């Protein structure tokens, strides 16, 4: 049995996964804010899942944590976890000190990439395209996570796609993140709706011309990300996950329509069969927590 935790900005997801990779137990908690609270939330989550599984922490084959921040997966050190309220935290050491066993720390998108890879039974290469507040990818090549030479592989959100585009908070102009992310929708479509992307899609369906334009820009941006990932790395499959993936087939349909229209004007793009290489992460499955559990053995 392996234990995995996905520490999100509001919720922490904790799972136990059996030797076949099947989800055995699951717990959800609210995530505390700031480094001491995040450590306590994580310890509580581990204790709760261990209790459900009837095991002690030390009895698990591995414990892995996915967290939104810049992670050194060798030292377990986490930096820039802005949404969790801390700038630096030796999370691996903090948890190991309290639990008495080693813990593997991964970036949350990286963990989700490995979870999606295993859940979907993909055997070739894959990029996991996370559409959340930002946009970034996790990469699996030859059955292994490719984190990059400095741990920043998949940071495609800050690749500019339009020299005359919007100014990005990163200091560049026209980054993918300015057209294909939750934050880009939030800036363009002001609403009190708790599900702004859903509200946007509904308004577009009702013919609101501004909503149609924003939705269209999102589809083009996500399609651009898919093209970029496949042309650069030639991964066989791009799996779309993250908050915006809850838009489901409405999003996938939009993106597929853009990719198909490109293929009509470019035989080169048509030969790459991009449309058929994109899919959604399975709805309602805790891919990041499952990935965190499994990556301990990867």
Task: Supply the minimum distance, in Å, between the C-beta of residue 144 and a second copy.
Answer: 8
Which of 229/247 has CB closer to a second copy? 229
Give helix 35-53 / helix 91-99 axis angle, nearest 10°: 50
Which of 23/270 has CB closer to a second copy? 270
For residue 135, the surrounding DSSP H or E stretch is: strand 135-141
Q: What is the DSSP letter of 123?
A: -
Extended strands (E) in 200-277? 237-241
For residue 114, the surrounding DSSP H or E stretch is: helix 108-119
Which of 16/145 has CB closer to a second copy? 145
What does each C-alpha distance from 79 to 27, 92, 175 come to in angstroms? 26, 12, 23
Task: Supply the minimum distance, in Å, between the C-beta of residue 230 and a second copy.
Answer: 8
Which of 43/170 has CB closer to a second copy? 170
Task: Supply the minimum distance, in Å, between the C-beta of residue 238 and a second copy.
Answer: 11
d(CA 31, CA 138): 23
**CA quadruple 13, 34, 96, 43: dihedral positive or negative?**
negative
Give me the residues that bind a second copy (CB under 8 A), please.
Answer: 124-125, 137, 139, 141, 146-156, 158-164, 170-172, 224, 227-229, 231-236, 262, 265-269, 272
Task: Supply the minimum distance, in Å, between the C-beta of residue 114 and a second copy.
Answer: 17
Task: Supply the minimum distance, in Å, between the C-beta of residue 273 and a second copy.
Answer: 9
Which of 111/233 has CB closer to a second copy? 233
**N-term to C-term CA, the chain:** 14
């Amino acid at each position: 049995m392996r234990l995995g935790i996905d520490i999100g900005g509001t919720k922490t997801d904790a799972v136990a996964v059996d030797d076949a990779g099947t989800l055995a137990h699951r717990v959800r908690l609210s995530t505390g804010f700031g480094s001491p609270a995040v450590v306590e939330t994580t310890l509580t989550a581990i204790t709760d899942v261990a209790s459900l599984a009837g095991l002690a922490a030390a009895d698990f084959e591995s414990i892995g944590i996915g967290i939104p921040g810049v992670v050194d997966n060798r030292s377990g050190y986490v930096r820039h976890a802005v949404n969790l309220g801390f700038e630096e935290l030796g999370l691996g050491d903090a948890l190991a000190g309290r639990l008495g066993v080693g813990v593997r720390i991964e970036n949350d998108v990286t963990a989700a990439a490995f979870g999606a890879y295993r859940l979907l039974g993909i055997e070739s290469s894959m990029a996991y395209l996370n559409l959340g507040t930002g946009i970034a990818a996790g990469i699996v090549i030859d059955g292994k996570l490719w984190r990059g030479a400095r741990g920043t592989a998949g940071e495609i959100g800050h690749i500019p796609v339009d020299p005359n585009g919007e100014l990005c908070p990163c200091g560049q102009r026209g980054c993918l993140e300015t057209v294909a992310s939750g934050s880009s929708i939030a800036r363009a479509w002001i609403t009190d709706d708790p599900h702004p992307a859903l509200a946007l899609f509904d308004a577009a369906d009702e013919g609101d011309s501004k909503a149609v334009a924003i939705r269209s820009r999102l589809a083009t941006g996500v399609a651009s990300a898919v093209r970029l990932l496949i042309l650069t790395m030639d991964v066989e499959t791009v799996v779309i996950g993250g908050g915006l993936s809850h838009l489901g087939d409405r999003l996938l349909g939009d993106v597929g329509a853009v990719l198909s229209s490109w293929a009509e004007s470019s035989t080169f793009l048509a030969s790459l069969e991009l449309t058929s290489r994109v899919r959604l992460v399975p709805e309602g499955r805790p891919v990041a927590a499952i990935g965190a559990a499994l990556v301990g053995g990867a």
